[in-house]
């Protein structure tokens, strides 16, 4: 089929028979729903930019299976250069959309499943690796957007999957048949799933022998029978229904999450990538998490670039751009943002090949990257709010700006620096509000904390991988200690 244009992608989603619910009602046309459409536009941008010669080098790659040009989001990394281009692509897309563009999870799942299935087959003689290769080729040939589904609801966090009072708190196999398996459960926080043609499901934690039914990985179409998607709420989400462009802040782009319910969904044998091999659940989780923690050194930095620019414009429009403390705050925002980018590039440059042949990042540095992401965007956001001023959250609405009675008052009292219109001042303030507190905050601030694992998850991996005994030996040698 070849690579799709953005419009072809939109039409492909229009043909999907998705079961999407929001505010208690079924959404028959998610593509054109005013709340959901900005999230689709963000994914559409990944298709449009892949057709643009200016961004071709970042957005596309040669398939390792066919040699054909494919969207980089469907690529199996073949070198450290590929890993670095991934991060650069993500930063560029963050700059272009100021939102979550939703395809990173699928790309990271592709590479984690590719290498893990190879090692499962090596030990057990299974056919998971071939299953995945054929599936990946299928997705590349059709230029699909693929959602990666890892996070389970988890129920009681102090109990293993098999110990839960309700066994469906972790997605599990409920029936094994000659032609495939039947699965039941749910995946939470699924970014972009309603804008994807396919879902790759993975386990969410390391597992023991009693969790065999939960150690499962597979792929299904997003409109497979038995799949229901329930849209998550976001701050200021219903502003998109009011017909106001200004008040939304970022009217064109956005992100959206959903709780995805699997009601006895059938998975054929050729789409199964793990089925009870519990000792490989942890490997798959660790590799996926590493790739996804690398991703945040790109996408969050790109959105950060927009927020820094918005804060600088707000200072200019407010008439205080020359104040030394404003300059210093902007410098600090840039310092923090570039530090995140350094981490994303560093863990990519230090990558190495897996047994399967694709490249994986340096896991220690990827976890350091994400640990910084759990902190720095919050400080960048705090400084942006400081620079913008309280008017960011108290400004009148666009309707009041246009109002026959209220308009003249808004124009009179919301003015800032001479030469800057009130409308432009309000537009940049609403963008900052959107990035720090509104719908985009889900994909910037809160996702920075909890996406790809909570802060403690990274600290555990840093502890495991930083080789403290080796550091002790360095110190003993320098201090001439013998024991």
Catalytic residue among 75, 204, 292, 359: 292
- Least Cα distance to 143 among 252, 46, 220 occurs for 46
Q: Which residues lie below 8 Å from residue 277, measured CB to CB, with a gap of 6+?
A: 120, 123, 124, 126, 215
**Any catalytic annotation for residue 292?**
yes
End-to-end CA, the chain: 67
Whether 104 sits among the annotated catalytic residues: the reply is yes
Sign of the four-CA dihedral 182, 188, 194, 195: negative
Catalytic residue among 119, 198, 257, 277: 257
Known active-site residue 354: no
Starting at the earlier edge strand, list the strands of the sheet with 198-201.
Answer: 146-149, 198-201, 216-221, 272-275
The catalytic position among 60, 145, 191, 222 is 191
HSE-up (13 A, CA, CB side) for residue 67: 0
| Spatial separation of the C-alpha atoms in residues 386 and 267, rounded to whole Å | 51
d(CA 280, CA 464): 18
Consecutive H or E run containing 324:
helix 324-349
Burial 375-407 (b: 16+ CB within 10 A, else e): ebbbebbebbbebbbebbeebbbbeebeeeeee
* Ramachandran bin of 163, using left for φ above 0, alpha for ψ from -120 to 50, beta for the remaining angles: alpha
- 227-231/20-22 β-pairing: parallel
* Catalytic member of 299, 343, 347, 369: 299
Q: Could you confirm whether 139 is annotated as catalytic?
A: no
How do strand 216-221 and strand 198-201 relate by DSSP bridges? antiparallel
* Residue 191 a catalytic site member: yes
Helix (H, G, I), strand (E, B) or coil at 359: strand
Q: Is 447 considered catalytic here?
A: yes
Helices assigned H by DSSP within 16-170: 37-48, 56-59, 80-97, 104-124, 128-142
Would the CA dihedral through 10, 34, 408, 425 be positive or negative?
Answer: negative
What DSSP letter does each residue of 424-446 carry, written as one string? HHHHHHHHHHHHHTSHHHIIIII
Q: Cα–Cα distances in Å, from 110 out to 3, 58, 115, 200?
A: 18, 18, 9, 8
- Give yes or no: 257 in active site: yes
- Copy the structure tokens of residue 433: 């509000």
d(CA 114, CA 107): 11
Q: Which of 9, 47, 60, 100 is catalytic?
A: 100
DSSP state of 76: P
Find the catalytic residue in 128, 296, 317, 444. 296
- What sign for the dihedral angle of Cα 301, 374, 294, 169? negative
Is 347 an active-site residue? no
Residue among 104, 139, 369, 436 flagged as catalytic: 104
Measured CA to CA, the distance from residue 372 to residue 305 in angstroms comes to: 16
The residues carrying an active-site annotation are 100, 104, 191, 257, 292, 296, 299, 447
């Amino acid at each position: 089929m070849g690579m799709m244009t953005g419009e072809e992608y939109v039409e492909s989603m229009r043909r999907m028979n998705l079961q999407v619910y929001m505010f208690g009602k079924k959404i028959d046309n998610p593509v054109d729903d005013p709340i959901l459409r900005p999230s689709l536009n963000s994914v559409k941008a990944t298709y449009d930019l892949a057709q643009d010669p200016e961004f071709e080098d970042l957005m596309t790659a040669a398939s390792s299976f066919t040699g054909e040009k494919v969207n980089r989001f469907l690529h199996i990394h073949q070198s450290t250069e590929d890993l670095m281009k991934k991060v650069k692509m993500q930063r560029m897309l963050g700059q272009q959309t100021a939102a979550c563009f939703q395809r990173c999870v699928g790309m990271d799942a592709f590479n984690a499943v590719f290498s893990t299935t190879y090692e499962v087959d090596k030990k057990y003689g299974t056919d998971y690796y071939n299953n995945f290769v054929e599936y990946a080729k299928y997705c590349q040939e059709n230029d699909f957007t693929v959602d990666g589904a890892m996070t389970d609801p988890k129920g009681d966090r102090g109990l293993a999957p098999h110990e839960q009072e309700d066994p469906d708190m972790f997605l599990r196999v409920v029936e094994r048949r000659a032609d495939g398996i039947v699965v039941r459960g749910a995946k939470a926080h699924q970014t972009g799933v309603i804008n994807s043609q396919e879902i790759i499901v993975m386990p969410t934690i390391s597992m023991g022998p009693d969790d065999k039914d939960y150690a499962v990985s597979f792929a299904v179409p997003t409109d497979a029978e038995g799949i229901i998607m329930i849209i998550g709420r976001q701050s200021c989400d219903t502003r998109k229904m009011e017909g106001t462009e200004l008040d939304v802040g970022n009217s064109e782009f956005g992100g959206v999450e959903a709780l995805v319910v699997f009601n006895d969904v059938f998975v054929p044998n050729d789409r199964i990538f793990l089925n009870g091999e519990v000792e490989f659940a942890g490997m798959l989780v660790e590799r996926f998490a590493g790739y996804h923690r690398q991703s945040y050194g790109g996408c969050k930095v790109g959105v950060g670039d927009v927020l820094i620019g918005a804060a600088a414009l707000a200072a200019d429009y407010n008439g205080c751009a020359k104040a030394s403390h404003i300059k210093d705050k902007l410098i600090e925002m840039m310092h923090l943002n570039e530090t995140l980018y350094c981490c994303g590039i560093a863990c990519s440059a230090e990558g190495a090949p897996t047994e399967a042949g694709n490249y994986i990042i340096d896991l220690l540095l990827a976890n350091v990257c994400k640990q910084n992401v759990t902190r720095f965007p919050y400080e960048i956001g705090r400084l942006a709010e400081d620079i913008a001023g309280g008017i960011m959250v108290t400004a009148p609405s666009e309707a009041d700006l246009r109002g026959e009675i209220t308009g003249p008052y808004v124009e009179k009292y919301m003015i800032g620096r001479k030469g800057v219109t009130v409308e432009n001042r309000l537009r940049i303030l609403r963008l900052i509000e959107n990035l720090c507190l509104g719908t985009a905050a889900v994909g910037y601030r809160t996702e920075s904390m909890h996406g790809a694992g909570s802060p403690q998850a990274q600290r555990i991996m840093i502890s495991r991988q930083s080789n403290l005994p080796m550091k002790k030996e360095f110190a003993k040698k320098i201090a001439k200690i013998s024991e």
